[in-house]
Chains A and B, each alone.
Chain A
């Protein structure tokens, strides 16, 4: 039995917030509410990173996901003007049921495997400082860093080319 300490309480609170917000992304009706719920879910996940003492990643998570991606999704939502968009007939009921059964089976297998695992816990929590991440990224993973830079450039150009109006 796991004793109830402060970390576990914080973990449970953040995990429940994250799962509830993720469920609300699925079930809410309005698109803007869903995107807001997504932002809260990412915020809770950033809290989990702080709990795991990965502060740098937590800050990056808040900056990139809560700050940038939510705004990007809200812009995407506004530009596509969902009010005038007609939605056709609803998906078939059997499709939803089959998806639910498939995903539920997958979740069951994963949880069975995860909770049956007997992992050796480490003696103490590892604290990853930004300095250590920087040394690794600019040392051992420098080629991956360059590739990520090229990927971001390609995504930037691709997004502009795709989203601009065709030249007259």
Chain B
């Protein structure tokens, strides 16, 4: 059996790749993609503990279902905001969206 630490390490690496993408990329679609990556890395942790953790039970899989639901809703609203943004400001560059910037 694969030790659970390896799954946790994989989750941490994917989370950090997603975080770096959110911090540095400028195309807003890619920022949303990276947020999905981060949510997925959390799902890996939940499933790993649910399957081979010290107290393996079904709860992790139930919570993964809820996280997937949240991710789908977030992506739908995020892309709708992006389309509205593009229509109003003709740009989906993350740097140019600075109306509320101090």
Which residues on A are within 8 Å of B, measured CB to CB?
2, 7-8, 11, 15, 18-19, 22-23, 25-26, 31, 34-35, 38, 41-42, 45, 48-49, 51-54, 56-57, 60-61, 64-65, 68-69, 72-73, 75-77, 79-82, 85-88, 91, 95-96, 99-100, 102-104, 106-107, 110-111, 114-115, 117, 119-122, 125-128, 132-133, 136-137, 141, 144, 148, 151-152, 154-156, 158-160, 162-163, 165
Contact = CB atoms under 8 A, between A and B. Distances in A.
Contacts of B27: 31, 82, 87
Nearest to B9: A114
Interface of B: 1-10, 12-21, 23-27, 29-30, 32-34, 36-37, 40, 43-44, 47-48, 50-59, 61-62, 64-66, 68-77, 79-84, 86-87, 90-93, 95-96
A110 B69 contact: no
Contacts of A111: 9, 12-13
B4 A110 contact: no
A26 B20 contact: yes
26 contacts: A11-B6, A22-B14, A26-B34, A45-B40, A52-B52, A54-B50, A57-B43, A60-B65, A61-B68, A64-B68, A65-B36, A75-B79, A87-B26, A87-B93, A88-B93, A88-B96, A103-B19, A111-B13, A119-B54, A122-B52, A132-B58, A133-B61, A141-B66, A159-B76, A159-B80, A162-B81
B75 A122 contact: no
A154 B76 CA distance: 11
Contact of B53 (A19, A49, A61, A122): A122
Return the 9 tightest CB-CB contacts between A and B, nearest first: A126-B56, A155-B73, A162-B80, A159-B80, A52-B51, A76-B79, A163-B80, A107-B16, A99-B23
